[in-house]
Amino acid sequence: MNALRLGVNIDHVATLRQARYTGMPGSHNCEPDVVVAALACERAGAHGITVHLRADRRHIQDEDVFRLRKSLTTKLNLEMGNTPEILEIALRIQPEDVCLVPENRREVTTEGGLDVVLQFDALAPTAKRLNAAGIRISPFIEPDAAQIDASVALGAHSVELHTGAFANTLGEAHQRELARIREAAAYAHGRGLQVNAGHGINYTNIAEIREVPHLSELNIGHSIVCRAIFVGLEAAVAEMLAAMQKK
């Protein structure tokens, strides 16, 4: 079995920058630099960099994505809502992967999976254009068979299973959510999809997630950025990579 791959989400590096430098693009004082952060993650062994270019540009900015596209030596995974403006940017940038996500202006971070079943007709033209451009698409979905089937019909290369409910519950509810993830991973694998996962995964619950069969990639951001405050970004990424390995 191949080792789990890690995509590091650096949105919260941009969040820190925007806390001080919103509306000041190009300022010589503007820090931290998301490209410097991304390259540090790559040096530590990350297999890719993930960013979410939101419609309201609350953290990652257009310039960030273009600079990352020119600078990365691994791959760029662009998270995006289904909006015409962001689609056109994605087609210009040509990331290796696009993760289609729900987007709510009131949320602090993505709060749940994309309802591919309900939104299929709206998503289909976007998926068609991304696929035609050779960009792999990965809907960010709840661990649910109907959502997986709809993702297959959409032409997805992979799915990213939303692990937020798993991360935010305890006891029996936590175990039920873990079972849902395991069942969904097996089902998606059986449908020919690459299976990724993300949201709320940290240095503690990774011990359970890494045992889920058929997982290929994990996208982790908040926990790594938090850990980096104490040990530095490269060390935080290296620690997560070590924790991802099955014992």
What structural domains and CATH numbers belong to the chain?
5-244 (3.20.20.70)
pLDDT at 219 > cutoff 80? yes
pLDDT at 1 > cutoff 70? no
Are 192 and 151 spatial neighbours (Cβ–Cβ below 8 Å)?
no
How far is it, in rounded angstroms, from Cα 211 to Cα 214? 9
Give the Cα-Cα-Cα angle 106, 142, 78 (nearest 5 degrees).
Answer: 65
First to last CA, the chain: 13
Which residue, among 124, 98, 126, 99, has the nearest Cα to 113 in the 3D structure?
Answer: 99
pLDDT band at residue 11 under the 50/70/90 scheme: very high
Dihedral class, residue 91 (left if φ above 0, else alpha if ψ from -120 to 50, else beta):
alpha
Dihedral class, residue 155 (left if φ above 0, else alpha if ψ from -120 to 50, else beta):
left
User: What integer pLDDT is reported at residue 154 of this predicted model?
Assistant: 97
User: What integer pLDDT is reported at residue 126 of this predicted model?
Assistant: 98
pLDDT band at residue 24 under the 50/70/90 scheme: low
pLDDT at 108 > cutoff 70? no
pLDDT band at residue 30 under the 50/70/90 scheme: confident
Mean pLDDT over 158-186 rounds to: 97
Query: Is 52 assigned a catalytic role?
Result: yes
Task: Please provide residue 57's backbone torsions phi and psi, each rounded to the nearest 5 degrees.
Answer: 50, 45
* Token duo for residue 152: 């297959």
CA 202, 11, 229, 34 torsion: positive or negative? positive
Task: Please provide residue 114's backbone torsions phi and psi, each rounded to the nearest 5 degrees.
Answer: -75, 135
Catalytic-role residue among 12, 42, 47, 52: 52
Task: Please provide residue 199's backbone torsions phi and psi, each rounded to the nearest 5 degrees.
Answer: 110, 115
Mean pLDDT over 155-167 rounds to: 97
Catalytic-role residue among 79, 103, 142, 217: 79
Query: Is 183 assigned a catalytic role?
Result: no
All residues at 6 or more sequence positions from 71 whose CB lies less than 8 Å from its CB, including other chains? 35, 38, 39
SS3 198: strand
Query: Is 162 assigned a catalytic role?
Result: no
Percentage above 70 pLDDT, the chain: 93
SS3 41: helix
Percentage above 90 pLDDT, the chain: 89
pTM: 0.93
User: What integer pLDDT is reported at residue 22 of this predicted model?
Assistant: 75
pLDDT band at residue 121 under the 50/70/90 scheme: very high
